Structure formats: C-alpha cells, structure tokens
Amino acid sequence: MPSLVYVVRSPLHSLSHALLPGDGSALVLSLEDPLLPGKVLRGTKTMSLTEGERLSYEQVLAILLDRKVVTL
C-alpha cells in the first residue's frame, strides 16, 4: 500500500507536476466534484485502484485514515 495519498481539490492539470512523485508510489485522489465522493487520478502498483475509478465516501475515508495524507 502506498505510504502517501495526495488529495487535490483543483484539476490535476492546474497543479505543478513537481509536487507529485513521478514514480507511481503515491495515490492521487480528486475531491474536486462536489456531487461525487472521490475519483482516482493516479493509482499505484500496490493498490487495486485504477485511474478514473469512482470511490464511495466510505472508501475515501478508509484510505485517508490508514495513510499519510498531503492535501493540495
């Protein structure tokens, strides 16, 4: 499981890519859409989450409580 989870509220293309690790070691979740709980922007090799997958509130909360989180 990844040690870091990045949570973004703005579109990923508007953020500097220097803020995110390029090696696929971190999970990136988007919470930008207020109508949908969460969306996976970047998955990791160690988790079964894929890019574009929608997450329920329970799934997002479980991920956030289990790992170190960076909010952007």
Q: DSSP string of 14-71?
A: GS-GGGS-TTS-SEEEE---TTSSEEEEE--SSSS--TT-EE-HHHHHHHHHHSEEEE
62 or 9: whose pLDDT is higher? 62
Provide the pLDDT for residue 55. 92
Provide the pLDDT for residue 13. 65
Provide the pLDDT for residue 41. 83
Q: pLDDT tens digits, residue range 3-35?
A: 688 888 776 666 666 666 667 678 888 888 777
24 or 39: whose pLDDT is higher? 39
Mean per-residue pLDDT over the chain, rounded: 78
